[in-house]
Amino acid sequence: MNNKDFNLEEKDIYKLFNEIKMEESEFNQMEEEIPVIQKERIKKNLNKKIKGQKGFKKLKYGSIAAAISLISIVGIGTASPAFAENIPVLSSITQTLNDKFGFHGEYEKYSQIVNKSVEDKGIDFTLNEVLADDSKVVIGYTIKSDKKISDEEAMFVLSSVKINGKMPNGSHGSSTGNYIDDYTYVGTEEIHTKIPQDSNKFNVNFNVSKIGNVKGKWNFSFSISKEELLKDSSIFKPNKKIDFPDSNVIIDKVVFSPIDTSVFLSGKSKTKRSGEHGLLDYDYWIAFDDKGTEITPKGLGGGSGNLKDGNFSCEMNYVRMKSVPKYLTIVPCKIISSGGGGVSVDKDGKETSMKVETKKPKEISKVIDGIYPIELPQGEMGKVIVKEIKTENNKTIVKYTAQGKAPYFQAQDLLIKDDQGKDIKIKDHNIRKDENNPNEFTKVFEALDPNKKYTIYTNDFSNVDFGENLKFKIDLNK
């Protein structure tokens, strides 16, 4: 199967997600609360994310207001035959896809098998597996079509969720997926929302109304238990108060579960905000364990807020940790968009441009000439040092280290472009291969042509306010 080169301009992506239609009943249930905390984050980070992580789908959105609470987009890509072989019919889709991105939680162990299928408009949607804890529902699914599945269809699955018959406020989620072949697509979706606390079991209605441009009804009802996952989770309630320049924040809860690590916070903005701005400026939190190792982010940000009173809640999500540290160190960051803008679309289809503060970081690059190491400075953040670049088995492997304030954060921004300025697609987003050497990284690209010239590059992070003066510690005491 030919690779699909899916590369939307930023303005096109904003338009696509702002065209999501919402039922009037959804607005009624929202009352005055809207998930505004992510609206500014979209504009600030979208350009950076697309530039740095092309190749696979990783799409975040909210079921109540998908266009507003979109967290990040990483693109979309095609599975290799080897990837398809790694997902046998009875294997856990959720486990396989999370492993591919380096999110090595124990998804398969805690998944409950559903395997229910609904066919409509020539598309068969199968809900394969589900799992849940106190703050999210995770599903694994398969899409099969009698026609070739387009990139847009795979990228854009519009769904709504009801829990115990009610549509929850402030939900958001992440969706990751890949092709098995032209007619089969597998995905996993995490729906982060308020889960009933009065029982370990609850009922879910998961309704898909649109797959790409195809409207239909793929509706599912199932019961789910969070008991096993909660039983094996460690939960801390530090009630720590943080004074930010723009807001007051309380760390309500930190959860170490077999599938991920989450920091839950609530707060209040100090100033009156408009709908064009979030309620928390420093909304990208870089976390370190008690040994000083940066924790791999899984989905930073997300939540809901109220523009009238300035109150908001938010969740910062990281990968599973093998053991609970004595404390976490958090460095809050404020990221300014490196370029672009946005387009909002109202219910009548009228487009309105969204202005956003921008600051383009300086590109740091060197021609790949076979002489190593290649050192690329990254401004005040530090530097990356490329130790080796080799091409084998139809892929190019770059081995490098990152030195500085936040090595994993820095390591994500290492890219290769050809002599026409076109970025080479990334084939593997799991850059931290060795947990014992957390500042050594491996990034896998499509194979470079030995007869062409290429440039490897990063940036100086001048659009990132790395909040060292705001750094704080969360003590983890029961």
Percent of the chain past pLDDT 90, that is, above it, reads 50
Q: How confident is the model at residue 61 (pLDDT cuts 50, 70, 90)?
A: very low
What's residue 37's pLDDT?
35
What's residue 71's pLDDT?
30
For residue 257, pLDDT over 80 is answered with yes
For residue 6, pLDDT over 50 is answered with no
Q: How confident is the model at residue 347 (pLDDT cuts 50, 70, 90)?
A: very low
Cβ atoms of 456 and 389 closer than 8 Å = yes
Which ranges in the chain are annotated with CATH 2.60.40.1640? Answer: 234-357+465-475
What is the spatial distance between Cα 112 and Cα 229, in angstroms, rounded to a whole number? 11
For residue 377, pLDDT over 60 is answered with yes
Q: Which of 312, 354, 352 is nearest to 35 (CA)?
A: 312
* Range of weakest confidence among 4-13, 64-73, 287-296: 64-73
Sequence-separated (6 or more) residues with CB below 8 Å from residue 280: 37, 244, 246, 247, 249, 267, 269, 312, 314
What's residue 179's pLDDT?
84
222-261: burial string, b at 16+ Cβ within 10 Å, e else: eebbbebbbeebeebebebebebebbebbbbbbbbbbbbb
State mean pLDDT over 72-101. 53
What's residue 306's pLDDT?
77
* Range of weakest confidence among 181-185, 383-387, 405-409, 435-439: 181-185
What's residue 41's pLDDT?
37
For residue 346, pLDDT over 80 is answered with no
State mean pLDDT over 317-324. 94
Q: What is the CATH number of domain 363-461?
A: 2.60.40
What's residue 152's pLDDT?
61
State mean pLDDT over 294-312. 78
State mean pLDDT over 330-338. 88
For residue 392, pLDDT over 70 is answered with yes
For residue 289, pLDDT over 50 is answered with yes
What's residue 176's pLDDT?
79
What is the spatial distance between Cα 357 and Cα 359, in angstroms, rounded to a whole number? 7
**β-strands 201-211, 214-225 pairing:** antiparallel
For residue 132, pLDDT over 50 is answered with yes
Cβ atoms of 93 and 129 closer than 8 Å = yes
For residue 3, pLDDT over 50 is answered with no
Q: What is the DSSP letter of 323?
A: S
Cβ atoms of 121 and 128 closer than 8 Å = no
Which ranges in the chain are annotated with CATH 2.60.40.1630? Answer: 10-231
Q: Both tokens of residue 446?
A: 């499509």
SS3 261: strand
What is the residue-averaged pLDDT of the chain? 78
What's residue 408's pLDDT?
96
CATH number of 10-231: 2.40.50.100, 2.60.320.10, 3.60.110.10, 2.60.40.1630? 2.60.40.1630
- In the chain, % helix, strand, coil (3-state, to 5) comes to 15, 45, 40
CATH number of 234-357+465-475: 3.30.465.10, 3.30.710.10, 1.10.3720.10, 2.60.40.1640? 2.60.40.1640
